[in-house]
Chain A
Amino acid sequence: MSLFGEVPQATPVAVFKLSNDFKDDPNPMKVNLGVGAYRTDEGQPWVLPVVKKVEKLIVADNRLNHEYLPILGLPEFRSSASKIALGEDSPAIQENRVGAVQCLGGTGALKMGAEFLRRWYNGNDNMKTPVYVSAPTWENHNSVFANAGFKDVRPYKYWDAEKRGLDLAGFLGDLETAPKHSIFVLHACAHNPTGTDPTHVEWMQVAEVMERRKLFVFFDSAYQGFASGCLDKDAWAVRYFVTQGFEMFCAQSFSKNFGLYNERVGNLTIVARDADNVRRVLSQMEKIVRVTWSNPPSQGARLVAITLNTAELFAEWKDNVKTMADRVLLMRASLQAKLQALGTPGTWDHITQQIGMFSFTGLNPKQVEYMIKERSIYLMASGRINMCGLTTKNIDYVAKSIHETVVNVQ
């Protein structure tokens, strides 16, 4: 008799299963448009040149050791990471009302923010506060907030499948009808999975409703720099909300823009009313950190901190980021042009209008299945493709396959 006899087999996390299936596929033409990691034009992972440089510095420096970081993380990392999100001359930073918690990737930052909110927001241990995530959203958003104890995680209208763009009226409508103090998870830029971001004017409208209805702003910023190629441009929404006086959280990931995926480098930036509130919030964050991972991993944070705090390295990093963003933009333009040239039914402007790593192609589940089974092109059931999986060598095959799929499968 086993204590674990009743433990059921869980269904695998979809995006990782996709990668596994791709790995096992013997077809030499196979293309992986699944998991969200950058690839070069040779289809290879890319360790940023600046990262290689800084790694060498770290390994060579015998003064560095492997001692515990403070509970909240490496101070130079936390402050420089928050500056990246909010801007060097952010009024909130100047007014000393910004705090930060170094976390394990963007996921870890969302987790810490969620745990804190469940304990301290809208009453004590109030698990009933609705948490709104976009429809669709990164699938792990649901789990992070549910596992933090929130009982009511709901979608807000976001993607308009018919017009293949933002459902602004629906979005604003859900903001208007959400119970007061509801938490809204907003994608700072390069929305995952749709690649569709509100315009500046649309963000201003969102902010107006959120302020009026006292909704909590929780930004997820996983692609800063990756969307447009420019850090400041990609942070516009986050910074706008700060100028509007919001207290808010911003979960930052350095997985993509630093290519540091497996080092788990993230930062939860906290903007509060004043320094005293920040201090108390951080003291409670420490307690949550201590029962989850005690203190965060050192390597990735060191790497980022050294880079952000050294002028030439910072410049080199921004350049590396632009390289990645530019290649994605090139692939977008290419794919759209090829589909147009093939005369593929439907409109394909959304490919170039969408921004960031992902594109919501509009392919339906049947078509996705066809792509995988008949063409060995792996993409998510939602029709999401990772633009980074496209290269100058495979883009013709992918374009032709999409064309064939759309024509033959409804």
Chain B
Amino acid sequence: LSPNLDQILLSAKASDYLIGSWWSEVQMGPPDPILGVSEAYKRDTNPKKMNLGVGAYRDDQGKPYVLSCVRKAEAQIAAKKLDKEYLAIGGLGDFTKACAKLALGDNNEVIKSGRNITVQTISGTGSLRIGANFLSRFHTEARDVYLPKPSWGNHTPIFRDAGMQLKAYTYYDPKTCGFDFQGALNDISKIPEKSIIMLHACAHNPTGVDPRPEQWKEIANLVKKRNLLVFFDMAYQGFASGDIDRDAWAVRYFIEQGHNIVLSQSFAKNMGLYGERVGGFTVVCKDAEEAKRVESQLKILIRPIYSNPPMNGARIAATILNTPDLYKEWLGEVHGMANRIITMRELLVANLKKEGSTQNWQHVIDQIGMFCFTGLKPEQVARLTKEFSVYMTKDGRISMAGVTSGNVGYLAQGIHAVTK
């Protein structure tokens, strides 16, 4: 005796059956500060509008750029007719091995002795989250994570949601629009032992301000003295200087100096694989045995979130990293992207001078990577958006990737107008 669904639909009690809603007390969540900028930009009808919000690379026509090595890798993969069976919880082996090598260097002692565990993650965010969960569960000596001031906006909610407490150390000097080295050392010297310190490996987000190698050396020394656990976030390897090894220098130096770090990597920007969600999380352990134990616990953390990671992007990344001529092509394309950004920085400053600006814009050239901390104050940012339809985050950060030779003049006009 099976009830006829049609009859049930006809007599549906629908919305008035239950009184009220479970969700009446659910507040409207605020729009994400970074992604919200893109939403506002989309709604603007000004033909000269510029989106300098989210950090996604654009070519000189302002278009998304699919790397040629990516297209080649995709074609190769398609021809192989692979199946779609579940990956292991820790992800695609070909990818995780290559991911670790890319960060640590081909002949790194850590990899040779098997004392790293590297798992595939849902891009950089997923990596940070797994890391936060792991530290929250196993690093019981300290609940505090020290972020540079400022840091990527999403760092704080990620660690907080994982149950950690957030603190900060001085980093950016608004007076110079550069690195406050002494301020950083002062603050770091006071961090309680065993706390976690977050370091941006290169191309600091949002400021674009990186320590110089001799400054990194002092930081490494101090961090060791303070016995801190180092969490490196490397989302822009290759993107900062255009050179993969140069951009990983700090990570490799710290390891050399005996820091057993944890590391997040993203391939969103340097391979343009944003939406495919390709990332890695690495724990450098005491030895291979410890790495096995840590691996088993990472799997326990991953399984109840998403079971196992997505294949497509990892397969593309692995193909590129493991195929010599694709790898070479990739290095060239990353170099090209970094170079275009550097050129835009120079053009912006040149155009500002042409506009007649008397401000010091040297920091635009000194800063590195996708972002530039212009030094613009919130009121100036608001004017820039309202009067010129230039969209950026309130902190004055602009994504240089959104600047082209076609619009850099207009941008200079706008910035000069609000700062003169």
Contact = CB atoms under 8 A, between A and B. Distances in A.
A13 B89 contact: yes
Given A66-B66, A299-B312, A292 B129 contact: yes
Residue in A45, A104, A140 with the greatest tally of chain B CB atoms within 10 Å: A104
A193 interface: no
Contacts of B310: 104, 262-264, 297, 299-300
A393 to B, nearest CB: 20
A290 B152 CA distance: 13
Given A47-B83, A71-B35, A8 B260 contact: no
Interface string A90-102: 0110010100000
A7 interface: yes
A121 B8 CA distance: 29
B15 interface: yes
A45 B21 CA distance: 44
Interface stretch (A171-179, A269-277, A320-328, A346-354): A269-277
A216 interface: yes
B356 interface: no
Contacts of B64: 65-67
Interface in A100-138: 103-105, 107-108, 111, 120-121, 124
A277 B84 CA distance: 37
B229 A297 contact: no
Contact of A200 (B2, B122, B139): B2
Residue in B86, B88, B297 with the greatest tally of chain A CB atoms within 10 Å: B86
Contact of A291 (B35, B157, B290, B294): B157
B28 A279 contact: yes
Contacts of B27: 280, 284
A201 B3 contact: yes
A105 B284 CA distance: 30
A274 B75 CA distance: 45
Contacts of B89: 13, 16
Given A16-B88, A200-B2, A273-B21, A10 B312 contact: no
Interface string B92-129: 00000000000000000000000000000011111001
Interface in A24-47: 35, 37, 44-45, 47
A66 B12 contact: no
B154 A294 contact: yes
Interface stretch (A235-243, A337-345, A360-368, A382-390): A235-243
B312 A143 contact: no
**Interface range on chain B (Cβ under 8 Å from partner):** 35 or more
Contact of A280 (B3, B12, B28, B129): B28
B86 A247 contact: no
A310 interface: no
Nearest to A46: B83
A204 interface: yes
Given A2-B286, A261-B84, A201 B274 contact: no
A262 B290 contact: no
Given A4-B285, A240-B8, A247 B157 contact: no
A278 B21 CA distance: 10
A245 to B, nearest CB: 3
B56 interface: yes
Contact of B299 (A13, A69, A255, A287): A13
A68 B14 contact: no
A11 B313 CA distance: 29
A3 B260 contact: yes
A280 B81 CA distance: 43
Given A107-B307, A211-B18, A297-B313, A281 B84 contact: no
B165 to A, nearest CB: 15
A259 interface: yes
B91 to A, nearest CB: 10
Interface string A182-223: 000000000000000001110010000001000010000000
A245 B305 contact: no
Contact of A243 (B14, B29, B305): B14
Given A68-B54, A279-B28, A45 B83 contact: yes
Given A4-B290, A71-B32, 10 more contacts: A4-B293, A13-B89, A59-B75, A104-B310, A143-B303, A200-B2, A239-B5, A247-B22, A294-B154, A297-B275
Interface of B: 1-3, 5, 8-9, 12-18, 20-29, 32, 35, 54, 56, 64, 66, 70, 74-75, 78, 81, 83-89, 122-126, 129, 138-139, 141, 154, 157-158, 161, 194, 229, 260, 268, 272-277, 283, 285-286, 290, 292-294, 296-297, 299-300, 303-313
15 contacts: A2-B290, A4-B283, A13-B299, A65-B64, A71-B35, A104-B307, A104-B310, A105-B307, A143-B303, A200-B3, A280-B27, A291-B129, A292-B125, A293-B126, A298-B312
